[in-house]
Every structure is written in C-alpha cells, then in structure tokens.
C-alpha cells in the first residue's frame, strides 16, 4: 500500500506569503483521500535520476473532509531543487506523482492532557489540520496552545483563519511569536519562552508536538525535558 503511487492533479495555487504557496491537489483515482490530521504525503519530482533524491515529503495542511483533494503549503527554499521545481514548473492542471498518507505524527486519543503544538514556518501545516479537525468534530480536549514562530508578521501563515478558530474553539490558544518584527504588540522572540512561561508555575500533564526547523526542535526537546517532562511526552516532525 505504501509503495502505491497516485497521479495527483493540481487544481488550485495561491501565494500565501512572499515565499510560500498553497497547492491544492486532487487524486482522481481515489474516491476520497483518507488521512489522519498530522500525516504527510511524498511527492516524486523529476529533479534527479535517483529515486530517493527525487522524493520530497510535505505535511497535509487541510483536514480530512471526505473529498479526494488535499492542500499542501510549501516554502521556496533558496537552492532547494524540490521547491524550485514546484514553484517554477507547476501550474494549475499540472500532474504530480504522490504517495501516502504516511506518518505517525497524529493526535493522541483521548486528548486528556494539555496539548502544546509548537512550530516554525510551514511546520504550521499539520497543526492547522489538527485544529480544524478538533473543531469540526467537536473532539473533547484539554487546553491546546498553538505556538507559531516566524520572523515577521508577513511570514504568518493562515493568520486570519487561526485567529477566527481561536475565537470559536473553546480552550484553543493561538499564539503567534515574531522574532524580528518591530511593530508588533503580540509575543516577541522565540517559541521557547512561550511554553516555558505557560508552564513556569506548574508542571501539568502535557503532550508536546514539534514541527519545523531542526534547530528549533532540538532546542525545544532539550528545554521541555529540562522542565521535567519525559521524552515520551514529545512528538516531532522534522523539516530540512
């Protein structure tokens, strides 16, 4: 099953920020594309002779809605063969070879512990999927903190949508954190100070999901364990 590749058709493209693009992909040979929020797909791109050097994996940014269309959000990496191909060559109507869904970066059941969703950049994708799923299905949950770190306000992905969701979904806190923005009344600095502040007075049972750049994930794992949490409380999905 895992080795089964499908032809996807790009049905829509939207530039979300100056260097990120949203790709909607329909998989015509599947009636519905079933996945768990947090899972990813792998694309096979014509950028190398060797298979494993052609493969690029991306978390699904949309939530399972019973259709055969999924959304990916992809950042254009300087010198990145995969993202350069996707940005320069792929248009609406283009075909992409993909397989999936794959991955075990999925919500715990039940959601009876506080949940920290900590991400940078396009690492927001699986958490957007999870949060929308929890909201739409009325999944009972302990408090959820979505801590999203980027440099500038113009780098925030899905900002309006996540703010709306925070207003509608009880016990869901959306906390964008900007490391370089001057005119910003919200949280400044890096994501680490945010979860440390929330937990500084009391170590409560919690699950930590980390998605984004390796440096952030490595530092978060170190800091979370320094607060007294077990490594089994920490779940990660790496980018780059």
| Residue keyed to tokens 């320094």 | 226
Please choose, from the candidates 19, 145, 31, 36, the residue with its C-alpha nearest in 3D space to the C-alpha of residue 84.
Answer: 19
Dist. CA 35–CA 46, nearest whole Å: 26
Which pLDDT score, from 0 to 100, does residue 2 have?
Answer: 56
Residue-wise pLDDT tens digits, 8-36 = 999 999 999 999 999 999 999 999 999 99
**Which SS3 state, helix, strand or coil, does residue 82 take?**
helix
Token pair for 116: 């920290």
Of 119, 115, 240, nearest to 191 (Cα)? 119
pLDDT digits 0-9 by tens, 149-182: 999 999 999 999 999 999 999 999 999 999 999 9
Per residue in 54-100, pLDDT (tens digit) is 999 999 999 999 999 999 999 999 999 999 999 999 999 999 999 99
- What does the CA dihedral 159, 239, 113, 179 come to, rounded to 10 degrees? -50
Q: Which domains does the chain have, with CATH numbers?
A: 6-102 (2.40.30.10), 114-239 (3.40.50.80)
């Amino acid at each position: 099953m895992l080795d089964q590749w499908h032809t996807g058709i790009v049905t829509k493209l939207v530039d979300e920020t100056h260097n990120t693009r949203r790709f909607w992909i329909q998989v015509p040979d599947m009636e519905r594309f079933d996945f768990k929020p947090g899972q990813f797909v792998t694309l096979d791109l014509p950028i190398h002779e060797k298979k494993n050097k052609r493969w690029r994996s991306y978390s699904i940014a949309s939530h399972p809605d019973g259709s055969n269309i999924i959304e990916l959000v992809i950042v254009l990496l300087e010198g990145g063969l995969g993202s350069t191909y996707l940005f320069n060559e792929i248009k609406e109507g283009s075909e992409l070879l993909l397989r999936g869904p794959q991955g075990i970066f999925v919500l715990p059941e039940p959601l009876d512990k506080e949940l920290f969703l900590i991400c940078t950049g396009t690492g927001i994708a699986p958490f957007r999927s999870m949060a929308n799923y929890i909201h739409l299905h009325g999944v009972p949950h302990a408090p959820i903190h979505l801590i999203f770190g980027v440099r500038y306000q113009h780098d925030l992905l899905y900002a309006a949508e996540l703010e709306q969701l925070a207003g509608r979904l009880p016990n869901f806190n959306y906390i964008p954190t900007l490391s370089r923005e001057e005119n910003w009344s919200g949280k400044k600095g890096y994501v680490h100070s945010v979860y440390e502040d929330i937990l500084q007075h009391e170590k409560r049972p919690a699950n930590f999901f980390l998605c984004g750049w390796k440096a952030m994930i490595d530092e978060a794992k170190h800091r979370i364990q320094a607060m007294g949490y077990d490594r089994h409380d920490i779940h990660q999905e790496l980018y780059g």
